[in-house]
Structure 1
Amino acid sequence: MQQQYGLEGLEKLCKLDIKCKLKHIIWNCLSQAIPNNEEMHRTTRLGNPWCKICGEDVQTLEHIIFFCLFAQMVWKMVPIKWDEIEDLRYNIKRWRLGLMEAGKMEDGNKQIGFIVKLL
C-alpha cells in the first residue's frame, strides 16, 4: 500500500507545473533522502546534530520542514490550512501520505503545487 502511495505521489509530483529541478528536490525531501545534521551525526559521529538555524533542537528532516523557528514563521504566512495533516508533521512519511489524500479535495492539486514551491 505504501509503495502504491509512493508511486501515486511521484505521479502527482510529475504532473505539477513546476521546474523539474524542484520536483527532484521535493521528491528527495519527501522520500527522506535529504541529509540533515542528525542523520550525518548518527552515521558518522562527526559534527553536531543540532540545527544551525535556530539551535533549539536536533536537526531532523521534520525539524527543518516544520518545527525550526524559521520554518514555523514561513508556515504561518502560508494561506493554506489542512487540519487533517497537521498532526502528521512528526513523521514525514505519514505527512506525505496525508498530503496525497488532501490532494483529493477541491483545488487540492493546486494547493499541493503551492506547498511544493514553498518547500
Structure 2
Amino acid sequence: MPQVPVPKFSGNCVDWPGYYDALTRLIHQNERKDNIQRFHLLKESLPAGRDGDIRQIPLTAANYTVAWDTLIQRYNNPRVVFFNHMNVLYQLPSLSKEKPDDIRSMISAVNVCAAACNPVSRE
C-alpha cells in the first residue's frame, strides 16, 4: 500500500480540523512510530515562518508531547474556526448579474462553510 504523505498545516485556524484529524491518525496514534519520528514529522508539517517556538524545541522523545500539547492549545478552538467560516460567508461578494460561474463559486463557498460548521460531518 502506498504511503500517505504527511499533512502540511497552513497555519490558518480554518484548516486546523482537517490537519488535526490527519496528523492524529497518521502520526500521533501510529504505534509503528516512536516519539522522535512523530516529533520530526510534526515539525516538518508546520508552515515556514510560523510556530517558530515549536520548531526550536529540541528534538527529543519527551519534547514531542510538549510540542503536540502546545499546538492543540494554540489551534484547537472550534469557536474560532466557526467565526472564521462565518467571516468567509459575510465577505462573499454580492452578485450584480446572475453569472453561472459566480453562482457556482458562491454555492461552493457556502457548502464548504456549512460542512465545516456541521459537527455531524466530523467523526
TM-score band by shorter chain is under 0.3
TM-score (normalised: structure 2): 0.27
Larger Rg: 2
TM-score (normalised: structure 1): 0.28
